Amino acid sequence: MEQPNLTYIDELSEDNIEFKSKLIGILKNELPNEIKGYREEMENSNFSKATQSVHKLKHKISILGLEKSYYIAEEYEGNLKNNSTSLNADFENILNIMQEFVNRL
């Protein structure tokens, strides 16, 4: 599976270390909360709200340079809209990889 990276954040922040640190700080703060919210909605089988959480998480996936994972998340979001959990295991794997990467920053 592809690995997260900071390429987009590096490009966005150019050589501004302070701005890059702020972006990483936001990512470190928001990602665990968004993952937690998604998982709570899934535990409650609230697919409508889980779909919204996946939509938010897609932005984090994109920011971390996970192009293939973004397409998986997009398809999974569509599945949830149809009350299907197909691709859930793949999406969980993506979340775990992202969380591990962000924890190391």
Structure confidence at residue 70 (pLDDT):
98
Q: Which residues contact 93 (CB under 8 A, 6 or more apart)?
A: 1
* Tens digit of each residue's pLDDT (9 = 90 or more) over 37-72: 999 999 999 999 999 999 999 999 999 999 999 999
The mean of the pLDDT values for the chain is 97
The answer to whether 76 and 88 have CB atoms below 8 angstroms apart is yes
* Helix, coil or strand: residue 105: coil
Token digits for 15? 């050589």
Q: Which two tokens stand for residue 61?
A: 């996936």
In the predicted model, is pLDDT for residue 90 greater than 80? yes
Q: Which two tokens stand for residue 91?
A: 């999406």
